[in-house]
């Protein structure tokens, strides 16, 4: 009989865990905590940083909240997928990225952390933290794959030019596009419902567009745009309407439902997914773990998408 904590003694690839949902180590979906990435397919890591926010802080506690909420979902494969990502993939949780200097808003230490995961032959699933953390993650991925096609779920475009005070969570994709890290011509932003007249060439699917069509139609647009190019999915939880995700720093009414967002993700099978993140969960503003639970569900379905997409491509 297995009487130990799966977070410490489990093995990558052994499937969903049936251990207690209300006790034990809060690793992501009960996968083992370990730093040895040998033979691992996906490494889950947190980046608990929120000093690049421009509104309410608190997303530094997001990785912990997402892991905690994931425990209640870890008992069986996600519906309606026919694949258990924890069996199809060898997944570990390596813990959080910690700064090596006093400069918390350092691109270098986060980029090096993600580069270490990629260098070990694994894909990274990053839990934020504010959305700034996507920028160093994209830099690490672009160093290996070249310019990245971005699938970006958000209420905001995050492509505003810097005010001169460095990169924040609303400017990093402007910076990424101008550096050539991200290719706007093959990228799509979904759920946008704030004004920014300069799209930089990104394809915008507004929240209103999503409400007027289906997840299948939106996914078809995205797949046609990205083709077989390397894709990074970044999911800002404020893409969801505040009714479904109140616990975030910059909520905007009129957003997607959890079902709409998940419907789009489920229809993206076959893309060349190389990296992913879920960010901007701020539990201080959450209620009954609504936001953290939505983020955990989105994150595990990104794992399902990664497993299914790579199975189709191989």
CA distance 34 to 11: 10
Residue 145 marked ligand-binding: no
| Buried b or exposed e, range 55-87, using 16+ CB within 10 angstroms | eeebbbbbbbbbbbbbbebbeebbeebebbbbe
User: What gap in Å lies between CA 29 and CA 67, rounded to an integer?
Assistant: 7
Query: Which stretches of the chain drop beneath a pLDDT of 50?
Result: 1
Query: Does the annotation list 158 as a binding residue?
Result: yes
Q: What is the pLDDT of residues 97-122, one digit of tens each?
A: 987 655 555 788 899 999 999 999 99
Ligand-binding annotation for 131, yes or no, is yes
Going by C-alpha positions, the residue among 86, 77, 88, 68 that lies closest to residue 28 is: 68
List the CATH code of the domain at 6-313.
3.40.800.10
pLDDT of residue 1: 45
Give me the pLDDT at residue 147, please. 96
- 154: annotated binding-site residue? yes
Give one DSSP letter per residue of 260-305, joined into a string.
HHHHHHHT-TTSEEEEEEEE---GGG-STTHHHHHHHHHHHHHHHH
Helix (H, G, I), strand (E, B) or coil at 239: helix
Q: Contact 96/35 with Cβ under 8 angstroms?
A: no
């Amino acid at each position: 009989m297995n009487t130990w904590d799966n977070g410490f003694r489990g093995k990558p690839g052994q499937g969903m865990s049936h251990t207690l949902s209300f006790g034990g180590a809060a690793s992501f979906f009960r996968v083992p905590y370990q730093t040895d990435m040998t033979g691992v397919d996906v490494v889950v890591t947190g980046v608990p940083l929120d000093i690049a926010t421009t509104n309410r802080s608190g997303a530094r506690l997001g990785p912990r909240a997402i892991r905690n909420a994931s425990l209640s979902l870890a008992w069986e494969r996600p519906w309606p997928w026919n694949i258990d990502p924890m069996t199809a993939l060898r997944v570990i949780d390596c813990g959080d990225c910690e700064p090596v200097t006093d400069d918390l808003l350092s691109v270098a230490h986060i980029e090096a952390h993600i580069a270490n995961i990629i260098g070990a032959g694994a894909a990274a699933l990053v839990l934020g933290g504010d959305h700034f953390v996507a920028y160093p993650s994209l830099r690490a991925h672009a160093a290996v794959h070249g310019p990245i096609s971005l699938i970006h779920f958000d209420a905001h475009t995050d492509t505003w030019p810097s005010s001169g005070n460095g990169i924040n969570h609303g400017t990093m994709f402007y910076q990424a596009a101008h550096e050539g890290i991200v290719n706007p011509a093959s990228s799509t932003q979904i759920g946008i419902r704030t004004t920014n007249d300069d799209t930089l060439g990104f394809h915008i699917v507004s929240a209103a567009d999503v409400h007027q069509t289906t997840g299948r139609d939106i996914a078809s647009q995205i797949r046609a745009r990205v083709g077989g190019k390397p894709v990074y999915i970044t999911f800002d939880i404020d893409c969801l309407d505040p009714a479904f995700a109140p616990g975030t720093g910059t909520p905007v009414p009129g957003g997607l439902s959890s079902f709409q967002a998940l419907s789009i993700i489920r229809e993206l099978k076959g893309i060349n997914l190389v990296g992913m993140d879920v960010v901007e969960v701020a539990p201080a503003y959450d209620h009954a773990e609504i936001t953290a639970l939505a983020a955990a569900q989105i994150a595990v379905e990104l794992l399902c998408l990664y497993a299914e997409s790579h199975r189709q491509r191989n």
